[in-house]
Amino acid sequence: MAKVVIDGKEYEVNPDNNLLQECLSQGLDLPYFCWHPCMGSVGACRQCAVKQYRDEDDKEGMLVMACMTPASDGTRISIEDEQAKDMRERVIESLMISHPHDCPVCEEGGECHLQDMTLMSGHNYRRYDKQKRTHHNQYLGPFINHEMNRCIACYRCVRFYDDYAGGTDLAAQASHHHVYFGRHEDGVLESEFSGNLVEVCPTGVFTDKAFSENYTRKWDLQTAPSVCAGCSVGCNTTPGERYGTLRRITNRYNSEVNGYFICDRGRFGFDYVNSDSRLRRAVAQVNDEAAEMSDEQVADLLAELKSEGAIGIGSPRSSNEANYALRSLVGEENFYSGMADDERAVSRLILELSRDKAFHSPSIREIEKADAVLVIGEDVTNTAARVALALRQSVRNKASQLATDNNIPVWQDAAVRELAQHERSPLSILSAYATRLDDVASEVIVESYENQAAIANAVAARLSSNAPATAPLSPELQAHVDVISEHLAGARRPLIVSGSSNGQIELVKAAANVARALQDKNEVAIGLCLVQREANSFGLEMLLRAENGLGAALDKLSKGEVKKAIVLENDLYRRASHAAVDAALDNAESLVVLDLLPTRTTAKATHVVPTTAFSEHEATYVNYEGRAQLSYQVHQCKFGAQPAWQWLHSSDVNAIVQECSEEAKGFDKLSTLLPGIDQFVAGMKVPRQTHRYSGRTAEIANLNVHEPKQPQDNNSVLSFSMEGIPALKDASVLGASWSPSWNSNQSISKFQDEINGELKQGDTGRLLVERTESGAYLMPETDTVQVAEGQLLLARSLQIFGSDELSAHATAIQQRATGPYLSLSPEDASRLGISQGDAVSLNGNGAIATACIRSRMKTGTASLYVDDSIDYYALPAAIGPSKSEQQGSDRSLDGLIISDRYEEGY
């Protein structure tokens, strides 16, 4: 700790930080633009000028940039000094010279950092009356609007997009007053984190396109703290609603999980909530005729099914409460997994490994700290994108180390990058195809699953003699083993990443073996990050008995052992071969399907019961770490849908959480997530609406001039109202952050205990599983797939835009999605007579995919991305693709973001 004097008052600060960061940590207001808490300082905008004094007697002082000055012991500065204030005012005046004062028509208005800083600096009269420079605005794809005239050239966009997120298609262009931030030509922004530009840009250059089309000011949005249901990371989000429709999603800071950034699937993949195709009424399908059911009829039906021993099939995309409610209705013995069997087996293993003392499940923040990483077979960019962004930061630890060794503060961003050049911490990737992280990887090894596991197990054996001995590898693969072992052995915070997305249990076993081998050697718990495909895969598994897989449930139904089933928010056709699902569902006498959108499974149902979307109910989800997080209800569902837990159990979510805590093994900490109303000021509820929320009395004036009673929320600590004590007092229910003078998302610093720290009184979630067990090495089981002549060994590709069931329905996401495609090597393609973009028959039974020839595919292997048109689980492990005359998907592969698309002649 160091002591600095700011305007005559002494503060205790961290000398490793810069003055700007420390001033903000102390709650002082100091304007800034180019600095960002996650991206350090470059001193580009000159906005954070303060007066620095040599000592107590120095009355003159000199102007310095707070962001470029270390907060070292004894520093004396003044923020309030007249010269400093004048400088800040003049700087903003010059930055604003060509800024159009179009705030009334700008989407950023009302949450604009530039507005806030202008006001804070005192610059309120423009003297420049000449012509302003104007720019061409580019088409940047379905997510982002471009309005370059608003740019103040702070460079934050490219520092985030290129430097932080590894994007390559956005850059600063031209010079002096022509400086331009854009692509080299119009086109879709390639990075899957492009949406963060909306929040990173201090003004309205990059805005949320989908939101613009359905726009509402920040203060008119009803918000609540929510958790993204797009993948297993569980990023914290703030969805905003107005007039009954969900309008947008923004990042909500959580120091351990997502920090300041979320991926584009999470940000743009939500408008299925507003879809006209939502299921609205409970319906009984009797003799091909649909009859609406009342709530009582549904309750009676469920009670009847319960008494008749119906089975329940859960869902990894549903909350703990929904799954628990179903389990408690049908009984634990009758509650089955809703995941594909292969994936579920991995999920089970992941749960077991999560109890093992040898490992540690790293949060996103901890992943960023790793100094050597081995990724085994999991394409995290497409399955858990936030993890990929964190891995991208981990490779920069070498740079931080070099900076520290050279006495350069790590927040000196440009200097540290200059120093490090291409030096990176090792990141080794084993994958079936080239990935989006390859550009920062030290090794990229494209191999079959079997060889990936073999390499990883050989690494384990190399690191510890206790690990299972492995068969000798080819010299080429052995060379990889040597390098990876060396990286991991030399690391202080090694990290192994794998996951269940491919349904390849051998990969996860191998990952655990490598981590255990490192633990043998280092004798500390080793970071083992095992991601899954869906928001609550982990939570669902915790509720399941080991033997209750989906295959077992389908078997029981098709054999007639049970006649009745309840399926919770799950399209089973995505989970097993269509033949198996048909056999089971056709045989069921009663099939009750709860879901929010129609699926092939609801089409088979005898009774369809409509459920609410993630923003319409309160619920908890368990992320890949085993971290349970509470997601509040944002708005009410205006039609007959109810939360699944309400249909199945009771209407009081608190009671279900409480019961789940007590009854379900491993969930005992779940109820501690619930805030008590007694912890709020005067026992008052926290309003979901801002204090400026406008038009409440007029919202439905087109229908009725009488103002209805505000809807009540009896169970939550939040209210559907603007009255009450706003979240200012308690950040644990912080929806949209706001603080006096800070209307933009930068106001988050006012809620952090220090910059980049935890939210005051914050809630980062609860790690549910205790690590109490000591496990052993897992014996690899090689089950070599027989590949006949002309066949290719099949791996699975997933896509961030398309592989997730619900977000794939979102309009913006659909514009980025592709149809099914088969990646194959140029050699195999030419041997099979397949050209780029051809329709390819996969197995002769009608499954068609588009050929995507990729220069780095391994010969003899192929990787397949499927959408719902392909019966994936009916495909064998090796296929013989052939050119098809049949027309395939009408979606072209042009939007596919891959680095190794093969072009003839290159």
The single residue among 22, 169, 378, 534 that binds other proteins, judged by CB under 8 A, is: 169
* 369 vs 360: CA distance, rounded Å: 14
Q: What are φ and ψ of residue 146, in 5° steps?
A: -120, 125
Q: Where does this chain touch other proteins (CB under 8 A) — which range of 64-72, 186-194, 249-257, 645-653? A: 186-194
Q: Where does this chain touch other proteins (CB under 8 A) — which range of 18-26, 100-108, 178-186, 353-361? A: 178-186
- What is the number of other CB atoms lying within 10 angstroms of the CB of residue 786? 9
Residue 515, H or E segment = helix 505-522
Cα of 508 vs its chain's centroid, Å: 21
Q: Which of residues 767-826 bind other proteins (CB under 8 A)?
A: none
Q: Is 162 or 713 the residue whose CB approaches other proteins more closely?
A: 162
Is residue 385 within 8 A of residue 457, CB to CB? The reply is no
Q: Who's near 756: CB < 8 A, 6+ residues apart? A: 37, 38, 255, 259
Q: Where does this chain touch other proteins (CB under 8 A) — which range of 165-173, 209-217, 521-529, 610-618? A: 165-173
Q: Is 91 or 852 the residue whose CB approaches other proteins more closely?
A: 852
Q: Is 170 or 879 the residue whose CB approaches other proteins more closely?
A: 170
Buried b (16+ CB within 10 A) or exposed e, 190-222: bbbbbbbbbbbbbbbbbbbbbbeeeebbbbbbb
Is residue 851 within 8 A of residue 884, CB to CB? The reply is no
Tokens 């209407």 belong to 651
Q: Taking CB under 8 A as the rule, does residue 173 contact other proteins?
A: yes
CB 184 to other proteins: min, Å: 4
Q: Is 157 or 588 the residue whose CB approaches other proteins more closely?
A: 157
Q: Is 177 or 559 the residue whose CB approaches other proteins more closely?
A: 177
Q: Taking CB under 8 A as the rule, does residue 171 contact other proteins?
A: yes
Q: Is 219 or 902 the residue whose CB approaches other proteins more closely?
A: 902
CB 579 to other proteins: min, Å: 39
Q: Where does this chain touch other proteins (CB under 8 A) — which range of 364-372, 490-498, 777-785, 892-900? A: 892-900
Is residue 718 within 8 A of residue 685, CB to CB? The reply is yes
Q: Is 136 or 729 the residue whose CB approaches other proteins more closely?
A: 136
Measured between alpha carbons, how far is residue 446 from residues 115, 376, 430 in Å? 49, 11, 6
Q: Taking CB under 8 A as the rule, does residue 906 contact other proteins?
A: yes
Q: Is 175 or 887 the residue whose CB approaches other proteins more closely?
A: 175
> Would you report the helix, strand and coil content of the chain in percent, each value rounded to 5?
30, 20, 50
3-state secondary structure of 666: coil
Q: Is 173 or 712 the residue whose CB approaches other proteins more closely?
A: 173
3-state secondary structure of 603: helix
Q: Where does this chain touch other proteins (CB under 8 A) — which range of 175-183, 255-263, 340-348, 368-376? A: 175-183
CB 750 to other proteins: min, Å: 35
Q: Where does this chain touch other proteins (CB under 8 A) — which range of 539-547, 566-574, 738-746, 897-905? A: 897-905
Task: Please give the single-letter amino acid code of residue 649.
Answer: H
Q: Taking CB under 8 A as the rule, does residue 174 contact other proteins?
A: yes
* 171 vs 155: CA distance, rounded Å: 9
Q: Taking CB under 8 A as the rule, does residue 183 contact other proteins?
A: yes
* 592 vs 572: CA distance, rounded Å: 13
Q: Where does this chain touch other proteins (CB under 8 A) — which range of 391-399, 501-509, 635-643, 894-902? A: 894-902
359-360, strands of its sheet edge to edge: 359-360, 526-531, 494-499, 372-376, 427-431, 443-446
Q: Is 814 or 899 the residue whose CB approaches other proteins more closely?
A: 899
Q: Is 877 or 893 the residue whose CB approaches other proteins more closely?
A: 893
Is residue 372 within 8 A of residue 265, CB to CB? The reply is no
* 766 vs 114: CA distance, rounded Å: 37
Q: Could you tell me the two tokens for 905?
A: 């002649």
The single residue among 54, 101, 132, 184 that binds other proteins, judged by CB under 8 A, is: 184
Q: Taking CB under 8 A as the rule, does residue 897 contact other proteins?
A: yes
CB under 8 A, 24+ apart: contacts of 211-214:
211/107, 211/247, 211/248, 212/107, 212/145, 214/245, 214/247
* 444 vs 455: CA distance, rounded Å: 12
* Helix runs in 606-671, H state only: 644-648, 653-663
Tokens 């794809």 belong to 141
Count Cβ atoms within 10 A of the Cβ of residue 430 and give its class: 0-12 exposed, 13-18 middle, 19 or more buried: buried
* 494 vs 375: CA distance, rounded Å: 11
CB 183 to other proteins: min, Å: 6
Site string for other proteins, 494-533 (x = CB under 8 A): ----------------------------------------
Size of the site for other proteins (CB under 8 A): 30
Q: Is 170 or 619 the residue whose CB approaches other proteins more closely?
A: 170
Q: Who's near 595: CB < 8 A, 6+ residues apart? A: 279, 567, 569, 570, 571, 601, 602, 608, 609, 610, 611
Site string for other proteins, 421-450 (x = CB under 8 A): xx---------------xx-----------
The single residue among 44, 188, 205, 454 that binds other proteins, judged by CB under 8 A, is: 188
Count Cβ atoms within 10 A of the Cβ of residue 667 and give its class: 0-12 exposed, 13-18 middle, 19 or more buried: buried
* 268 vs 270: CA distance, rounded Å: 6
CB 83 to other proteins: min, Å: 30
Tokens 């009334």 belong to 104
Q: Taking CB under 8 A as the rule, does residue 902 contact other proteins?
A: no
Q: Is 436 or 487 the residue whose CB approaches other proteins more closely?
A: 436
* 865 vs 793: CA distance, rounded Å: 14
Q: Which of residues 91-120 bind other proteins (CB under 8 A)?
A: none
* 40 vs 680: CA distance, rounded Å: 35
Q: Taking CB under 8 A as the rule, does residue 900 contact other proteins?
A: yes
Residue 175, H or E segment = none
Q: Is 417 or 545 the residue whose CB approaches other proteins more closely?
A: 417
CB 262 to other proteins: min, Å: 22
The single residue among 187, 244, 309, 757 that binds other proteins, judged by CB under 8 A, is: 187
CB 138 to other proteins: min, Å: 11
CB 900 to other proteins: min, Å: 7
The single residue among 62, 80, 94, 168 that binds other proteins, judged by CB under 8 A, is: 168
* 150 vs 155: CA distance, rounded Å: 13
CB 440 to other proteins: min, Å: 9
CB 356 to other proteins: min, Å: 36
Q: Is 52 or 823 the residue whose CB approaches other proteins more closely?
A: 823
Q: Is 439 or 662 the residue whose CB approaches other proteins more closely?
A: 439
How many residues make up the chain in this entry?
906
The single residue among 89, 93, 109, 180 that binds other proteins, judged by CB under 8 A, is: 180
CB 446 to other proteins: min, Å: 12
Contact residues for other proteins, defined by CB under 8 A? 162, 168-175, 178, 180, 182-188, 190, 421-422, 438-439, 855, 894, 897-900, 906
